[in-house]
């Protein structure tokens, strides 16, 4: 396979990904049971310069905090804290993308830990390959719907969206088409989903430590003492292929990857297809 140009891949991302959130108007969510908890309208965000902060152990000792906070919006993942790690990861959180496992398995913590009460929350769940919304609703990977409602009851003012189940496999198809090998048939990581969401919302996206810098380490997360190579290279998620694609799309300098784990991506709004 010949590799498509970055411009062509950006157009695939723009033209083929459904960035919509689930609203109270579509079946099976258009019921009185869901009405109090779901937004009536899709998310709308038009942002300038955005930062995406991976949870990698190599964020430690990066001193990237003030650079990250200098962006117009910051996206973080799952339980990634700021607090005591501010110097390295910053303190602003505009969007937090969480997986359905976190809000179900760690529900007590999710509902009570104040770190989740900032910014806009978005949850996603690994859906069966190209299933329709009804099939997924019957058989989500984690049954997070009750946890979602529970959180919304406690924090009714905080925007909290459910990502549509289609986008992950539309993105997976693009990853597969642009990879010389077969990739594992599991959805992309939260990291990759968050990056393309921000490419949709923002003029420009700086991503930190998704491509590992010279600080690269087997420590999984910057906030935990847990060692596992798979966190950076992937096991369940096709992380290696995600990272190859992001490297291909990088408009920044290679030395910024080496020194800061930083890549710069063009927002999808500003491209010509
Ligand atoms: O670890 P996780 O991911 O929360 O990390 C968020 C995103 O950061 C990027 N990352 C992380 C660590 C690392 N060393 N290198 C990286 O590039 C990845 O892009 C990653 O997606 C997930 O994707 O949702 C994931 O979630 C965790 C876990 O469910 C949550 O942290 C909640 O506790 C998964 N871990 C386990 O299930 C044990 C992880 O596989 C994927």
What is the tens place of the pLDDT at every residue in 91-104?
999 999 999 999 99
99 lines ligand 1 (CB under 6 A): yes
| Mean pLDDT within 173-186 | 95
What is the tens place of the pLDDT at every residue in 192-248?
999 999 999 999 999 999 999 999 999 999 999 999 999 999 999 999 999 999 999
210 lines ligand 1 (CB under 6 A): yes
pLDDT on residue 2: 61
77 lines ligand 1 (CB under 6 A): yes
Q: How far is the CA of 190 from the centre of ligand 1 (A)?
A: 7
Name the residue among 65, 30, 37 with its Cα closest to residue 162. 37
Report which protein residue has its CA nearest ligand 1's atom 34.
231
Which positions ≥6 away from 4 have C-beta within 8 Å? 12, 178
Report which protein residue has its CA nearest ligand 1's atom 33.
102
| ipTM value greater than 0.85 | yes
* 106 CA: nearest ligand 1 atom: 33
Q: How far is the CA of 189 from the centre of ligand 1 (A)?
A: 7
Handedness of CA 196, 249, 71, 273 (dihedral sign): negative
| Mean pLDDT within 23-51 | 96
Q: How far is the CA of 52 from the centre of ligand 1 (A)?
A: 14
> What is the Cα–Cα distance from 87 to 49, expressed in whole angstroms?
20
* 101 CA: nearest ligand 1 atom: 29
> What is the Cα–Cα distance from 6 to 3, expressed in whole angstroms?
9
């Amino acid at each position: 396979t010949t590799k498509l140009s970055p411009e062509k891949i950006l157009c695939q991302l723009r033209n083929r990904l459904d960035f919509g959130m689930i609203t109270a108007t579509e079946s099976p969510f258009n019921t009185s049971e869901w009405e109090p908890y779901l937004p009536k309208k899709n998310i709308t965000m038009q942002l300038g310069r955005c930062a995406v902060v991976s949870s990698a152990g190599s964020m430690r000792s990066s001193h990237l905090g003030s650079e990250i906070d200098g962006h117009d919006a910051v996206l973080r993942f799952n339980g990634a804290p700021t607090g005591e790690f501010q110097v390295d990861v910053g303190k602003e959180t505009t969007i937090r993308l969480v997986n359905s496992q976190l809000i179900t398995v760690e529900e007590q913590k999710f509902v009570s830990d104040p770190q989740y009460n900032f910014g806009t929350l978005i949850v996603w769940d690994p859906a069966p390959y190209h299933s329709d919304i009804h099939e997924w609703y019957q058989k989500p990977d984690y049954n997070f719907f009750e946890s979602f409602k529970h959180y919304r009851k406690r924090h009714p003012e905080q925007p909290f969206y459910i990502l549509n189940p289609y986008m992950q496999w539309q993105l997976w198809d693009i990853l597969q088409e642009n990879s010389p090998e077969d990739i594992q048939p599991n959805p992309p990581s939260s990291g990759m989903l968050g990056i393309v969401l921000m490419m949709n919302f923002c003029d420009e996206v700086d991503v930190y430590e998704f491509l590992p810098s010279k600080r690269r380490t087997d420590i999984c997360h910057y906030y935990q003492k847990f060692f596992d190579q798979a966190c950076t290279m992937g096991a369940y998620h096709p992380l290696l292929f995600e990272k190859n694609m992001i490297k291909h799309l990088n408009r920044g300098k290679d030395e910024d990857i080496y020194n800061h784990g930083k890549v710069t991506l063009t927002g999808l709004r500003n491209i010509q297809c």
